[in-house]
Amino acid sequence: MKTWPLIWAGLAVVALVLALAVAVPDGWLWPPQAMHLPLARWISAGMAWLTDSAAIGPVTVKDLTRGFARLIEAPYEASRVLLVEGITEGRGRRATTIVPPLSWVAVTVAAVAMGQYARDIWLGLIAGALMLYLAIFGQWDSAMITLASIVIAVPLGVAGGLGLGIAALHWRPFERVLSPVLDLMQTVPTFAYLVPVLVLFGFGPVAALLATVIYAMPPMVRVTLVALRGVPPEIVDFANMAGCTPGQRMRKVMLPVALPDLMVGVNQVIMLSLNMVIIASMIGAGGLGADVLESLRRLNIGGGIEAGLAITALAVVLDRLGQALAARAGGGRGAKGNWLRRHPRTVLVLAVTLITAAAGYLIPAVQDWPKEWTITTKGFWADLMQWINVNYYDQLEALRNWTLVNLLIPVKDFLLALPWPFVLGAVALAGWALGGWRLAALTGALGLFLAVTGLWEQAMITLYLCGVSVLIAMCIGVPLGIWAASGETAGKVIGAVIDTLQTLPSFVYLIPVVMLFRVGDFSAMIAVVLYALVPAVRYTAHGLRSVPEELIEAGIVSGATRGQILRKIRLPMAVPMMLLGLNQTILLALSMLVITALVGTRDLGQEVYIALTKADVGRGLVAGLSVAAIAIIADRLIGAAAKGARERLEGGA
């Protein structure tokens, strides 16, 4: 696309906005009231009709949703019986345990056995040690409540994602409809759809379970499509020649061949389900998420960090086991012989389960980790925060005030002072420059949606907080990514830090930040930077490592120094991947901004959070869709920029 038409179009937009601002000085800063549509009221009225009046024959929609909730409740209660409650007789204080739940010994041995099966004994020992950590630090009961939800949410998310992916593969119109729905599922803040889930399915762990499935399912759908389309055509042709029906071809040929890639999607469902546990606790999930949330409300730094580290330990176990099973998928061969010989680990776990269940009646410590054996670090974390505040309060306060005065407030004032037609014109112009008129129409329409919601001010505050946080995250993440790609040792150390940041629940970042910097935009920015830093580092390091060796050797032969090779060869070649990292950083920043509403921000996240507390479906969904609009604009613009950079590199090659 030529440059001059864009320049003239940009100048025309600026001239038009200036003329309108001079002619109507008070009407063009923010969208006028006449433009606002009562979207929240319409959505709330629609939801009220759906829950109160809508029916299919004699059965109301509310009856259907509550019936579906009871259907999901059955396997969930079974998992709670297995891991948490056991089989009891009677109620309340008179309840008597007839069959105890799985003991901590049995669950730990099962984790070791799964690790050894998935990879080797070392993975098994790591998994077992992390499960033992949960018991030692007094987090076992809460962890089992969380695990009871995960073992139901993950199969539901995997099965639903697999089914939708297969349907989209065979029916292209369905895929075209499904794609924007998946975009919304991944970009609408989780708080926003907690409200309709709460209204439709009621308060409790089942509603939280369904919200978790909605949040965790989209990656499985996308991975299923990619994996099944990646099956070699000759294998599909061979199945057709063998006379397979479409169902047999899918079950016996395509799914087994695509299994390693599908396991990557399963791993993503596991991690996203764990990411959701704290948010789901707001509508009755319980477990570790409820512990973190309660600690945040009370500013209990020690309790929050301990519960957060317990979620991290559980996440590491499930993540490592999932990755190992994905690598093993399709490559293992079963042992020969009878059932006992073919499943020695299963036999071991069953034996330990029965022995510990029986021994627990005589030795309670075998069944439940004794409370007097537990270790706590709550006092350590509280004392550490107090020591930092006492000794470094002046320095921390100076950093906070300097950043607010010199960075955050000026950027905020600048964005709030921009006339809304100028913002719409700039967004549409960027879409035209990067992707043509279709992208310009999409970005312009999404920007106009923000204007008619009546949430323009909150959207600009969201944009300012997200923009500053992403800029700082990239300024930190890109150098770290370059360092990680420079050597194996640096890559391992930085990778370990990044893995820890990725598995920590988002709420956990808020507790120490609030303790050190109090509530406000600065605390929100710090939490967002820490949470969104991971993709900036990962994608930069991956992009630099993916540069073809022959290009680097050509630079060395031509006499280029190490710095010149980095600046003129590796970084330019890594730009498309780094842009994708920027895209992911923006999406994570937006998702975290909704959570930082708990520390006093006044952006779209605050609107979503207020709607959740008031069970206002319309207000929550409109604010959530506004966040999604910003996310989709950023995603499409950066995706187009990455595509253009890739095409230029391929053209240059």
How far apart CA 404 and CA 415 sit, in angstroms, is 15
Local confidence band at 131 (pLDDT 50, 70, 90 cut-offs): very high
Is the pLDDT at 476 greater than 90? The verdict is: yes
The pLDDT of residue 607 is above 60: yes
Could you tell me the CA-to-CA distances from 584 to 238, 301, 302, 468, 528 in Å, in that order? 39, 29, 31, 15, 13
Taking each continuous run of H as one helix and of E as one strand, the counts in the chain are 32, 4
pLDDT in tens, 619-632: 888 988 898 899 88
| Residue 472: pLDDT band with limits 50, 70, 90 | very high
Residue 15: pLDDT band (50, 70, 90) is low
- Please tell me the distance from the alpha carbon of residue 444 to that of residue 630, in angstroms, as a whole number: 11
Mean pLDDT of the chain: 81
Record the pTM: 0.80
Six-digit token string for 570: 């590796």
Q: What is the pLDDT of residue 129?
A: 93
Residue scoring higher pLDDT (13 or 373): 373
The answer to whether 265 touches 254, Cβ cutoff 8 Å, is: no
pLDDT value at residue 1: 45
Q: Is the pLDDT of residue 286 over 80?
A: no
First to last CA, the chain: 20
**Is residue 82 very low, low, confident or very high in pLDDT (cuts 50, 70, 90)?**
confident
Q: Look-up: residue for tokens 């006044």?
A: 602
Rounded mean pLDDT, 115-135? 89
State how far the Cα of 238 lies from the Cα of 244, in Å rounded to an integer.
9
What is the biggest distance separating any 2 CA atoms in the chain, rounded to whole angstroms? 88
The span from the CA of 148 to the CA of 83, in Å, is 7
- Look up residue 298 and give its amino acid: R
For residue range 372-423, list pLDDT tens digits in order. 888 888 888 888 888 888 888 889 899 999 999 999 999 998 888 888 888 8
Per 3-state DSSP, the chain is made up of helix, strand and coil in percentages (nearest 5) of 85, 0, 15
**Which residue is listed with tokens 């409540």?**
145
Q: Strand locations in 494-644, DSSP E?
A: none
pLDDT confidence band for 301 (50 / 70 / 90): confident
Q: What is the DSSP string of 498-514?
A: HHHHHHS-HHHHHHHHH
Please name the residue that has the structure tokens 């004392």. Answer: 383
Burial of 275 (0-12, 13-18, 19+ CB in 10 A): buried
Higher pLDDT residue, 340 or 166? 166
- With pLDDT > 90 as the criterion, what percentage of the chain qualifies? 8
Residues 299 and 382 sit within 8 Å (Cβ to Cβ): no
β-strand partners of 97: 88
CA–CA separation, 99 and 86 (whole Å)? 6
Residue 2 has pLDDT above 50, yes or no: no
Question: 89 - beta bridge partners?
Answer: 96
Hey, CA dihedral for 421, 423, 425, 431, is it positive or negative? negative
Q: What is the CA radius of gyration of the chain?
A: 27
**Angle formed by the axes of helices 409-417 and 456-486, to 10°?**
130
d(CA 162, CA 563): 46
Contact 593, 462 (CB under 8 A): yes
The band of 151, judged by pLDDT with boundaries at 50, 70 and 90, is: confident
The size of the chain, in residues, is 653
6-27 average pLDDT score: 54
